[in-house]
Amino acid sequence: MVWWRRAVNWIRIPCSHAHRLLSERMDRPIEGGERWRLWLHLRICEMCSRFERQIDLMRSAVRRLGQ
């Protein structure tokens, strides 16, 4: 059974990649596969989901300053 291994490898991204995607998401929307891999990673990785919350807080703070 190789196909599911390949699927798992495709789905799994390292935390560093997730962090990069999260920062990029501030400037541009992430598309397709990357977006879903990030979503999945955030579901299974506590550290990155915490990082996402921090980024969201930061982003709303910046938005408030910009108004």
By CB under 5 A, residue 40 contacts Zn ion? no
Work out which of 15, 57, 58, 62 binds Zn ion, going by CB under 5 A. Answer: 15
By CB under 5 A, residue 42 contacts Zn ion? no
By CB under 5 A, residue 55 contacts Zn ion? no
Q: Please tell me the distance from the alpha carbon of residue 14 to that of residue 18, in angstroms, as a whole number.
A: 6
Q: How many CB atoms lie within 10 A of CB 32?
A: 7
Q: Please tell me the distance from the alpha carbon of residue 58 to that of residue 3, in angstroms, as a whole number.
A: 40
Which one, 39 or 61, has the nearer CB to Zn ion? Answer: 39
| Site for Zn ion, rule CB under 5 A | 15, 18, 45, 48
